[in-house]
Amino acid sequence: MSGQFVVLPTPEAVAAAAADRIVASARNAIRRRGRFFLALSGGSTPRGVYALLAAPPRAAAVDWSQVEFFWGDERACPPDDPDSNFGVARALLLDRLMGIRPARVHRMPADAEDRDLAANRYQGEIARAFGVPGDASRPPTFDLIWLGMGRDGHTASLFPGSSALAERRRWVIATQAPPPGCYRMSFTLPLINAARAVMFVAVGADKAPALRLVRSVPGDLPAARVHARSTLWLVDAAAAGTAAAS
């Protein structure tokens, strides 16, 4: 597995490290380029990170008005649904931070009736935010894409065996979790791998088998296909399992 692999003792330590990484990346991007392009993660792990970002001292350490918030994937549910990645981020982070510009919060509309059309429109929204053509052959460069990893090794909503893994042209696609999973929308590998940095956050012993495969069989599982310019894995001891010694 390429990238930096950091094992921390507890989920709380992982959350703190992830929050600090986001703050440092934001400050650096805003200082260098005036804005910070961030894609948030889904699942349960972000909750602890959001709480840290929304509280002192981290909340005051970033000019949040200069942050463009996107999501790497989303379930086909309305924003007030408990399973909505956007809804969780809004309740625990966005509504608690000062200075956020609503126009810079880009909800992924996976609940649209025509999800293929919505995915194309979200790609256009990304392009407009970056000031590039929506049909550009090379995806724009996010400053930081924050990803998780499922027990099956999926990341974003790119699942093992999915045709979405073969996508080379589009940046955003409609997809589906394995049955009985719901419909979703997701960044594709070309967009993810174009990022300046990707941060994986994985905690819990249930992630250990997939993590061992990701590290030992490059390119087999979806998470192993992520090769951004900088790829950081933050995992707790339980997720690392025997991989921590390798």
**Residue 216 within a domain:** yes
- Tens digits of residue pLDDT in 192-220: 999 999 999 999 999 999 999 998 877 78
Secondary structure class of 179 (helix, strand, coil): coil
Q: Is residue 246 part of a domain?
A: no
Q: How confident is the model at residue 11 (pLDDT cuts 50, 70, 90)?
A: very high
**pLDDT at residue 246 tops 70:** no
Residue 105 lies in a domain: yes
Q: What is the DSSP string of the chain?
A: --SEEEEESSHHHHHHHHHHHHHHHHHHHHHHHS-EEEEE--SSTHHHHHHHHTSTTGGGSS-GGGEEEEESEEESS-TTSTT-HHHHHHHHTGGGSSS--GGGB----TTSSSHHHHHHHHHHHHHHHHTS-TT-SS----SEEEE---TTS-BTTB-TT-GGGG--S-SEEEEEPSTTPPEEEEE-HHHHHTSSEEEEEE-SGGGHHHHHHHHHSTTTSGGGG---SEEEEEEEHHHHGGGGG-
Q: What pTM was computed for the model?
A: 0.95
Percent of the chain with pLDDT over 90: 87
pLDDT in tens, 120-162: 999 999 999 999 987 877 999 999 999 999 999 999 999 999 9
Is 233 contained in some domain?
Answer: yes
What range defines the domain where residue 227 resides? Answer: 4-240
C-alpha angle 157-42-230 in degrees, rounded to nearest 5: 80
pLDDT value, residue 244? 43
pLDDT higher than threshold 60 for residue 169: yes
Q: What is the mean pLDDT of residues 67-79?
A: 97
Lowest mean pLDDT segment, chosen from 31-35, 103-107, 238-242:
238-242
Inside any domain, residue 245: no
How many domains does the chain fold into? 1
Q: For residue 2, what pLDDT band results from cuts at 50, 70 and 90? A: low
Q: Is residue 220 part of a domain?
A: yes
Per-residue pLDDT averaged across 98-116, rounded? 97
pLDDT for the residue numbered 173 = 97
* pLDDT tens sequence across 23-72: 999 999 999 999 999 999 988 889 999 999 999 999 999 999 999 999 99
**More confident position, 217 or 225:** 225
CATH of the domain at 199: 3.40.50.1360
Q: Has residue 19 got a pLDDT over 60?
A: yes
Residue 71, in any domain of the structure: yes
| Dihedrals phi, psi of 183, to nearest 5 degrees | -70, 150
Tell me the average pLDDT of the chain.
94
Question: Is residue 20 a part of any domain in this protein?
Answer: yes
Residue 245 binned pLDDT confidence (cut-offs 50, 70, 90): very low
